[in-house]
Amino acid sequence: MKKLFFILSFLVVAALQLQAHNSNDTTFRRLKVGASIGIKQMTPELMKYAKSVGISCLNVSLNQFFDKEGHFNLKDEEITEIAKNAKKAADDAGLEISAFHMPFGEHIDLSAIDGAEHERVVALHKKVFELCRILNPKVVLFHPSWYLSLNRREEHISQMIKSAVELNKTIKAAGAIMVIENMTGPQLHVTRGGVEYERPLCRSVEETMEIMKRLPSDIYAAVDMNHILHPEKLILALGSRLKFLHVSDGDGEHELHYLPCVGKGMNDWNAILSALNDVGYTGSFMFECHYKDLKELPECYNELYNKWIAQKKS
């Protein structure tokens, strides 16, 4: 009888400890660590190495196959073959392709005002997705626009929304979700090559939220931490509409894409991790930054996470 009582007591204590542990995990949620990579770099060797150092998932892009005019450098069948090989390499290594990053550029602009150009861009995105559909991503990410012509911002917003609604049909049919990424701000005007433009759409928390309100509720958002100062503010504003991240450090104005742990950028990582936790974000911590070795990414996440935990408990 005493032996049975001891066993029952032990089980009760163990259950309480497990409950406390699980509660702690919920309070301080850990995320899967991901890496952004060009599809051509997805060799079997690199994929196996990525898995071995703690990478769980990937954000795959193929912008490298487009020229400055927004045209493929390869034939359709070549793109499809590359996608097949990339998918096999990831699967064999046990890596999940979390997201497919759609191509972007001056001539791949969802907000194009000209009717014929707008139709061409939407058709191009559909074609790219079909060629790479074998990747089977959970998330398909789009830039909302390129740099804009002056004083026509509302027209660009309307065209982008029109494009997103149309493309979302294709994305949903494949069982994925569509996300729109915030872009660099916050100043409205910028000079490139001696020509003045307006910055791309979703350049601030306010504009991003206004555009998201005008989009269907099943089109979501991605936060690029290189594109905005204080990304935690956008994370909190988006709440459950946030479905994806691009993790890097910067100053909110330039394309710097620092690895967070090198200490060059201005992001407050404790505030960012708290914001992600507060909105219940459960997606991947997807790095899109400069690094020398893939192992630096999970190492950096662990460093950020541990510092955040220490700060929360202090």
H-state helical runs in the chain: 2-27, 44-52, 76-93, 115-131, 153-173, 205-214, 231-238, 269-278, 296-313
pLDDT at res. 25? 44
Question: Is a pLDDT exceeding 90 seen at residue 13?
Answer: no
pLDDT at res. 6? 43
Distance in angstroms (rounded) separating the CA atoms of residues 1 and 5: 6
Higher per-residue pLDDT: 309 or 19: 309
Answer yes or no: are the C-beta atoms of 66 and 73 closer than 8 Å.
Answer: yes
Q: Tell me the pLDDT tens digit for each residue of 224-257.
A: 999 999 999 999 999 999 999 999 999 999 999 9
Q: What percent of the chain has pLDDT over 90?
A: 87
Answer yes or no: are the C-beta atoms of 219 and 164 closer than 8 Å.
Answer: yes
**pLDDT band of 69, cuts 50, 70, 90:** confident
3-state class (DSSP) for residue 206: helix
pLDDT averaged over every residue in the chain = 92
**pLDDT band of 56, cuts 50, 70, 90:** very high
Q: Give φ, ψ of 96 to 5 degrees.
A: -90, 135
**144: cis peptide before it, omega within 30°?**
no
Question: Is a pLDDT exceeding 90 seen at residue 292?
Answer: yes
Distance in angstroms (rounded) separating the CA atoms of residues 217 and 220: 7
Q: Please state the rounded mean pLDDT for residues 73-86.
A: 95
Least confidently predicted of 3-7, 223-227, 257-261, 310-314 = 3-7
pLDDT at res. 7? 45
Q: Tell me the pLDDT tens digit for each residue of 128-178.
A: 999 999 999 999 999 999 999 999 999 999 999 999 999 999 999 999 999
In sequence order, the 6+-apart residues with CB closer than 8 A to the CB of 291 are 259, 297
Q: Please state the rounded mean pLDDT for residues 64-88.
A: 92
pLDDT at res. 26? 54
Q: Tell me the pLDDT tens digit for each residue of 187-229.
A: 999 999 999 999 999 999 999 999 999 999 999 999 999 999 9
Q: Residue 278 to residues 20, 226, 314: CA-CA distances in angstroms?
A: 19, 21, 18
Question: Is a pLDDT exceeding 50 seen at residue 10?
Answer: no
List, in order of start, the domains of the chain with CATH numbers: 31-313 (3.20.20.150)
Q: What percent of the chain has pLDDT over 70?
A: 92
